[in-house]
Amino acid sequence: MIVETIMAKAIKKKTRLSGIMDNSSMGISLGQAEMQVSLETARKLRKLMRADARFVGSHADEYLKGNIEYLFTIDDNVIKYEFKQQGKNVFLNVSGNPTKLMAGSNSVPVLLKDGEYDGNAVVNTFKYANRIMFAVLEMIPGFNFKWPAKRERVQITNGDFNVSRLQYAWYTGDLLDSRNEVFKYLRMCYGGLNATKEEVSNLAKDIGLNFTAFDNHEGNFVINSVAGDKKEFSVTLYAKDEEEQGSKQQDRKRFQRLIRFDCSFNDYFLKSNNIKLVKDLEKKYVEICSEGGYDIGFVKWLASAVHGRLKMNYIVGLTLDRYREMLLACEDFLESKKSKRKNAYLILKHWYDFGAPFKTITEKCEALGVNQNNYARDVAEIRKATGIDIEVSRRFHEGMLWQRINGHLTNEERTASLFEHLDNQRIKLAELKERDSKSSENVQKLLSVEGLLKIRKLKPVILESNDFWAYKKLRGE
């Protein structure tokens, strides 16, 4: 093991956790002067991996010339070790599924009874998850590798290595019998096309999102968040019980009223929150959990960031009647501010005229000729007067509402709407609005800030580090 084991604080019998660390990507720099390490470790590792049939290389290794990755598989769990050379420096990036390596499954959280990195059991588990893919290399029978005591071992223990992606998962609160309705409703809000005579584009593109729906399981979908040209995070919403067909019936049943959020937070998101090294991540984890609870505080912090970026409360709660009121308020605002507040007028006029969205606020202000220093104030004034979120384009508002309202048609009603000779059977707009309003109200209750952040707490798998699934498999148990 990397350092001597110490005992963690006693674990309460009713400890419940929410966060599940999924696939993650971390890197340790080998060869950089500030790390005070040499190329010796890189050479030794690559030589050992090249000679060991259990490590599958992506291409022939030419001994520190170019990049190469090695895949090490334990049953169906894969750890990727990727060497990247930049000048005289070599970087080792590792990615894998910490929770699976610990427990053999990533359906529920894990909690360690013994401590290696911290006296708090929850924090210790988080820290171990951040290091297990490095620790595995010391546990492989016959591999004969140990991290050098005065170099990489110290870095690993202290968390002095980069984190470029963090994937975390959690479950919503109980959706009762409305899970399928929530899936359908969200797909109508974010998926589909914004199609008019002028153009056809993906609906979510206007708010810096990319939407992908899966056909393998009904309802599942992925939303990627983009800030300018930078990927912030990717969130997958899916029914976990559909993935657990090999599990016992009672194990699948508990997930049938929940939606699982699998979120990959990319380098841009991490650095925006002053997280570059693993020790930065762990410091943030402790700070947030100290205020909001272990580990629910950290999970709610991540979930809140996702919820806010997707503008879920605003979009889910938007109805046709509410939107009509917004447009009337918008017209009043434009008329009254035309000569009084030029900046606010120009910003709202661009929105009202179906103006295309911009990648950045700076780009938007320059194009519209408005003062960026007052932009936040102007946007807040518009929101207060009209209720409109100016960062959500008018094209998105109307494309989403059109799609959502028509999504409440039955097959027969849609057929009747297509043909004039069935005009007497056509459903009235008022009826569609009523259906959509009821659905919006129900989903909003379930997925509002309070609903979405009412994260499900689960009984964790409690184990000791020597009993990790990966270690037992490597020992042949």
Q: Is residue 413 part of a domain?
A: no
Q: Is residue 468 part of a domain?
A: yes
Q: Is residue 293 part of a domain?
A: no
For the CA atoms of 414, 419, 423, 425, what is the dihedral angle to 10 degrees? Answer: -40
Q: Is residue 102 part of a domain?
A: yes
Cis check for the bond before 251: say yes or no (omega within 30 of 0).
Answer: no
Q: Is residue 79 part of a domain?
A: yes
Pairwise CA distance, residues 86 & 264, whole Å: 26
Q: Is residue 15 part of a domain?
A: yes
State how far Cα 301 lies from the chain centre.
Answer: 12
Answer yes or no: are the C-beta atoms of 455 and 296 closer than 8 Å.
yes
Pairwise CA distance, residues 242 & 431, whole Å: 34
Answer yes or no: are the C-beta atoms of 257 and 446 closer than 8 Å.
no
Tell me which residue range forms the domain holding 161.
6-165+459-474
Pairwise CA distance, residues 6 & 189, whole Å: 50
Q: Is residue 125 part of a domain?
A: yes
Q: How many domains does the chain have?
A: 1
Pairwise CA distance, residues 112 & 11, whole Å: 9
Give me the long-range contacts of 406-409 (CB less than 8 A, separation at least 24).
406/432, 407/184, 407/188, 408/432, 408/435, 408/436, 408/439
> Quick one: 353 exposed, middle or buried, by C-beta within 10 A (0-12, 13-18, 19+)?
exposed
Q: Is residue 306 part of a domain?
A: no
Answer yes or no: are the C-beta atoms of 69 and 91 closer than 8 Å.
no
Tens-of-pLDDT digits for all 477 residues of the chain? 443 333 344 455 578 899 999 888 888 876 554 444 458 888 889 899 999 999 998 654 554 456 788 999 999 899 999 888 777 778 888 999 999 999 999 999 999 988 777 788 999 999 999 999 999 999 999 999 999 887 889 889 999 999 989 999 999 888 888 888 888 888 999 998 888 888 888 889 999 999 988 765 567 899 999 887 889 999 999 888 766 544 455 556 778 888 899 999 999 999 999 999 999 999 999 999 999 999 999 999 999 999 999 998 899 889 999 999 999 999 999 988 665 778 999 999 999 999 999 989 999 999 999 999 999 999 999 999 999 999 999 999 999 999 998 888 888 888 877 775 555 555 677 888 888 888 888 887 776 555 556 788 899 999 998 899 999 999 998
- The model carries a pTM of 0.89
